[in-house]
Structure formats: C-alpha cells, structure tokens
Amino acid sequence: MMLGFSFILHTSYLRFIYVWATIIVATIGNNMQPDTVNIAHKIKASPTAVQKKWMTLFCGHKRKVFNVLLDVDNFWYSQAKNGLRPYPRKEDLDKELTRIKGIPEFAYLNEAPSCVLQRAIVDLWTGIQKASRKQVKAPKYKRKDDYKQSFYITNDKGAIIYRGSKAYFKCPKLKKLCGDELIPLAEKPRFEGKIMAYIVVKEDNDWWVVVEFGLTSNPHTCQNPDSVCGVDVGIKTTAVCSDRTELHMPDISIEESKLRYYQSQMSRSRH
C-alpha cells in the first residue's frame, strides 16, 4: 500500500516538474523571438474594365454576407434575450454562412474567393464584440453607395508578381472569371519581408492594393542611433542638442535696422 502511494506521489511530482519546465521554456522562447512590426504599403492599381466589374462584385458579395449575417445575429440575439436559445457565437455565423452558400438564391456568392466572405464574418464579429464592451456603436448595414469599399485577400491566395521592372497583384478567381488575374500596380512594394495579407480598396473610381508586411525590424527606425541628435528649441537659448551643445542665434541687429530703413523708404515712395 505504501509502495503504491509513493509511486503516485513520485509520478505527480514528475508531472509537476514537467509542466513548469514547459512553461519556462515557452516563456524563454517567446522572449527570444524578435518583435514583429506590421507595416502597410498602399499602392495604386490599374485594373481593366472587366477586372473592375468582378472586383466590384467581390465587394458586393462581402457586403451581402455582412448584411445577411447581421440580420441573423440580431434575430438570434433577440431569441437569446427571451431564453429561447443560447447567445450566438462566431462559430454559429460560420455555420450559417455555409448554409447560406448552399441555397440556390445565394449561389452567386461562390463566385468570390472564400477568404473574402470569411473576412465579412470577422469584421461583423469584431464589431459585435466592441459594441458589447461599449467601445463603439452597434454594427450598421453596409451600403452599396458607400464611398469606400474593400475586400480582404489572404497571403496564400494572393501574390505580388514581378515582370521586369513592373509589379502586378495576383487576385484569385479573376483568371477563371475574366481570363486575367494580374492587376498592374503603379510601383513595387517598398518593403521586403513576409506579406501577411492584401486588402483591395475601391475609393470612388480609384482602386488600391494595400500590402501588409510583417517585419522583424521597423524600417522607419534609425539603424544607427549614435548618429541621431535631438534638438530642443528654447527661449533663452536658441537650441540645445542632446549632447548639450548650445546653438545661438547670430547677431542680425544691423541687418534688421537696414531692413526697417528700406521698408520705410519703400512705403513713402510713389509707384
């Protein structure tokens, strides 16, 4: 009996040590990983007329999914308040989208990439969560005549293609729908690193592609901090540098007196 009890204690002690060792190793590993900086580059795009038509439809499909699921969520929430069902979760919206795509009336939603429709759920659920915490107002219905419309493309669906000195954005489903999936870009992306996602934005009649990068270092940070000098503009002293060097304004009293004299002469003269 005592032997079995000692074995149980020994096993529990080893399990306790294993759990804590796992936590410590994970913490050290996370601290050793470099920080990731998310930076976006907005590039002007020049799609063809056919590409514009289909990309506008992609924006419409995302808007439709958002509005339909917002209706469904409002109905579920009213039922949950009356105790007729549990409060809705994000997984319920995912299942509802799958059901809606199987209805013949909404079969056209399959024209858009799946990541476009999934992003509508993410945006809706984010708005619902923020509204529940009183951070923002409740989500509103998307309108067709909104000035700015967009859709989201994951990094495994889209791509930046280089041909010579020009860059193109590869938009999924366009090759199947219109035969050309490459959209010309006005310039190449300014940063080099892992691309996290793409956002295609329509502002009035202009199209843009926002490329989101995940960089291990901030390119806007000075790589050589020793070469940076801070300057503090003061009243008694014109400026003081971070190395305590004082910069004084040169004596321009003579030039100022000459300027006043010539200004008075010009104001009295007739033109």
- What 8-state DSSP symbol labels residue 139? P
Q: What are the residues whose beta carbons fall under 8 Å from the beta carbon of 167, sequence distance 6 or more? A: 43, 160, 161, 184, 185, 187, 188, 189
pLDDT at 14: 45
- Quote the tokens at residue 22: 């796992």
Low pLDDT (below 70) residues in the chain: 1-35, 217-227, 269-271
DSSP string of 65-131, one letter each residue = HHHHHHHHHHHHHHHHHTTSSPPP-HHHHHHHHHHHHTSGGGGGGGGS-HHHHHHHHHHHHHHHHHH
Three-state DSSP class for residue 241: strand
φ, ψ of residue 167 in degrees (nearest 5): -120, 145
- Quote the tokens at residue 3: 């032997």
Q: How far apart are CA 148 and CA 151, in angstroms?
A: 11
Per-residue pLDDT tens over the stretch 1-54: 444 444 444 455 445 454 444 544 445 444 445 567 788 999 999 999 999 999
Q: How far apart are CA 22 and CA 30, in angstroms?
A: 12
Q: How far apart are CA 172 and CA 154, in angstroms?
A: 10
Q: How far apart are CA 54 and CA 130, in angstroms?
A: 32
Q: What are the residues whose beta carbons fall under 8 Å from the beta carbon of 154, sequence distance 6 or more? A: 115, 197, 198
pLDDT at 162: 93
Taking the whole predicted model, whether its pTM rises above 0.85 is answered as no
Q: How far apart are CA 134 and CA 226, in angstroms?
A: 45
**DSSP H/E element including 159:** strand 159-163
pLDDT at 170: 94
Start-to-end CA distance of the chain, whole Å, equals 119
pLDDT at 218: 63
